[in-house]
Amino acid sequence: MSETLDEYLGRWAGTDPLRQAVRATVTALASGTAAIAALVADGPLAGELAASRGVGADGWDDQKELDVRADEMLLGSLAGKPVAAYASEEAELPVPVTPGAPLIVAIDPLDGSSNIDTDVTIGTIFSVLPAPEGVDPVSEAAYFQPGRAQLAAGYAVYGPHTAFVLSVGEGTMHFVLDRAAGTYRLVKERVTIPTVAREFAINMSNHRHWDDRLRLYIDDLLQGKDGPREADYNMRWIASMVAEAHRIIIRGGIYLYPADTRAGYTQGRLRLIYEAFPIALLMEQSGAAATDGRTPILDLVPERLHQRVPLIFGSREKVERVSNYLTGPGEIAERAPLFGRRGLLTA
């Protein structure tokens, strides 16, 4: 049989103390996601998982029953592990776990929760960071580290099968849950995202709110083989970012969730620390890219725990092309001279 997640991490960690701490943390989180997968598989038999429990930590997003239960399960999985603090989308501030431990964790316990009641793929996204010296690990400031400081990042997707995609900084690995054995097994040790894929994911209902440069990029795709790209493209939109990321991991393409002119969206919508950072690490470690439209996501430094950011990720050539539309002069500016007087992705 193929190698288990813990066996793989044991081989990777060796006797290095920090790597051993990462191994213990990731395997604990994986155990938590396996428990969530079982809960998700029960659907309505497990109760009203899509029932509203109020709003999330930032007072904006609707919080579902499964959001809360997933958060509790993941936090519980880390009890006694080498994690000093746990920051979640579901809580305003980090909470302590194991005092003096060398790591901190940031997590979106249940991404895509608007899809819970429709049996569409949802998932968990996580980031593992070093506990910074001289900073209280349970403070927000402990998480104000650039994305390249991540020691590990990954996600689980709960679909027809449960996949666990992970990077510890040495490529991206793809595991699948062996339900009978209750463990994840390695199916691909070095993921390489395809460079050629004629798919893009964006919420077209927001077309009128976008910056003109971004709208031009999408309009060029929609013209297909009759337009400047001279090829037909398919659009996807699942409304579950982790599911979109997994599709790109498997078959390439590009995902765009830009900022726009609506209230609450002018600085982007997705969270930098526990959504954009981990996905960006997985993309770069798979030969792809992630940006806010100007800057690689992993080069950003957060200023708030629940900070939002525009997010574009996928096949490197496609991400670079979007960046050229958003920031480059030349033909694009000539086609729409007003661009010189407009903002880019952020207000």
Structure confidence by residue, pLDDT tens digits, 48-57: 888 887 666 6
CATH architecture under which domain 5-188 falls: 2-Layer Sandwich (3.30)
Q: What pLDDT score does 346 carry?
A: 41
The pLDDT-based confidence of 257 (bands split at 50, 70, 90) is very high
- Tell me if 204 sits within 8 A of 196, measured CB to CB: no
89 catalytically annotated: yes
From the options 3.40.190.80, 3.50.50.60, 1.10.10.10, 3.30.70.60, give the CATH code of 199-341: 3.40.190.80
The pLDDT-based confidence of 8 (bands split at 50, 70, 90) is very high
108 catalytically annotated: yes
Reported pTM: 0.93
92 catalytically annotated: no
- Which range, of 4-8, 52-56, 223-227, 294-298, averages the lowest pLDDT? 52-56
Look-up: residue for tokens 């609707």? 62
Out of 65, 71, 111, 199, which one is annotated catalytic? Answer: 111
119 catalytically annotated: no
Out of 5, 29, 66, 110, which one is annotated catalytic? Answer: 110
Q: Is 257 annotated as a binding residue?
A: yes
Out of 65, 108, 140, 212, which one is annotated catalytic? Answer: 108
Q: Is 110 annotated as a binding residue?
A: yes
- Tell me if 290 sits within 8 A of 296, measured CB to CB: yes
The pLDDT-based confidence of 177 (bands split at 50, 70, 90) is very high
Q: What pLDDT score does 328 carry?
A: 77
Which residue ranges make up each domain of the chain? Answer: 5-188, 199-341
Q: What is the Rg, in whole angstroms, of the alpha carbon atoms belonging to the chain? A: 20
**Distance set, CA 60 to CA 57, 116, 144, 269 (Å):** 8, 18, 22, 11
Which range, 61-65, 115-119, 196-200, 299-303, is most confident? 299-303
H or E stretch covering 83: strand 83-88
3 catalytically annotated: no
61 catalytically annotated: yes
- Which range, of 46-55, 106-115, 146-155, 160-169, averages the lowest pLDDT? 46-55
